[in-house]
Structure 1
Amino acid sequence: MAELRDCPKCGDFFNYTGLRDVCAKCAVSEEKMYEEVYRFLRRRENRAATIERIVEATGVTETLLHQWVRKGRLQPALFPNLGYPCDNCGKLTNTGKLCAGCTADIKNELRTFEAAQEFREAVDANDKATYHADRKRK
């Protein structure tokens, strides 16, 4: 079911159906920009262009480029210097929400946490098995 939303680009109202986040007028404008960027990148000398170079040559915003890469419209396999920012540190990545460094850090922290938890459980199990005798005699 459609809901009425404000277009984040122009401020007009539009029926949001889940397909796009902007009104039809802005979607057409974005599509024209996409075609311009894609034509630019298809030229052999521009395939390894950086995001800064693409922005400079085409006038498209970095945010829009990141959005197209994240959605798979521009593929880093074909254009190796493209990516989008990691949700944690901001470094460019091509897959997922986190870069390889942040993913490795989280995995290491998880391993450390699991090892500490196993150690605590072992200590607790050892404490339960220990019996103490009362050494006071009358």
Structure 2
Amino acid sequence: MKDVMNCPKCGSIFVKAFRPICSNCYREQEANFEKVSKFLRKKQNRTASVQEVHAKTEVPLDLIHQFVREGRILRSHFPNLGYPCESCGNEIQQGRICDHCRDNITDGLDSIKKTEQLKEQIADREREKIHTYTTLQDRIEKKD
């Protein structure tokens, strides 16, 4: 049997073939995209922010963010449009997280790596101590 599932938007049952939502929700989504696209085609609206587009078209913010994230609305043509960072919620133009969050993650991973290297060095020193045999004669010779 094909992939039968409930639509995540409306809950109706549909066969998942090409889209993750049912046909009715897809038509509604496309109508909303057309509203946003029509609004942004006007020259005076090309510098509108996501909140302005939402206020004028009454299209939900998450749907506008989805259009930008998917590349259906080109960020190069509309510089003030973006979507929220998945970590902190700041508006970004590309990727999944902002530069600040990416730097925090990278710094955290670097510190973990340095800590592991330090632990390895300490363990290596301890192993050297264990495998070093000295006799009483060796100790006396070292003192002289």
Which digits, 9 at most, give the CA deviation of each residue in 1:75-100, with x for residues without a partner? Answer: 22221122222221111222222111
Compute the displacement of 1:101 (Å). 0.9
More helix by share: 2
1:100 maps to 99
Structure 1 CA distance for aligned equivalents of residues 90 and 55 of structure 2: 20
Relative to 1, partners in 2 of residues 1:132 and 1:83: Cα closer, same or farther, differing over 3 Å? farther
Number of residue equivalences: 134
1:65 maps to 64
Structure 2 CA distance for aligned equivalents of residues 52 and 92 of structure 1: 11
Deviates more, 1:36-45 or 1:5-14: 5-14
Please tell me whether Structure 1 or Structure 2 has the larger radius of gyration of its CA atoms: 2
1:6 maps to 6
Compute the displacement of 1:7 (Å). 2.2
Percent identity (aligned): 33
**TM-score, structure 2 length as denominator?**
0.82
Give, as a single letter, the amino acid of the residue that structure 2 aligns with 1:24: S
Gaps of 5+ in 2: 137-144
Compute the displacement of 1:8 (Å). 3.0
Report the aligned-residue RMSD.
1.9
1:15 maps to 15
2:140 maps to none
Structure 2 CA distance for aligned equivalents of residues 82 and 125 of structure 1: 53
- Partner secondary structure for residue 89 of structure 2: coil
Which digits, 9 at most, give the CA deviation of each residue in 1:55-76, with x for residues without a partner? Answer: 1100100111111112111122
Structure 2 CA distance for aligned equivalents of residues 48 and 104 of structure 1: 29
Compute the displacement of 1:134 (Å). 8.1
Structure 2 CA distance for aligned equivalents of residues 54 and 65 of structure 1: 8
**TM-score, structure 1 length as denominator?**
0.85
Structure 2 CA distance for aligned equivalents of residues 8 and 84 of structure 1: 21
Compute the displacement of 1:132 (Å). 7.2
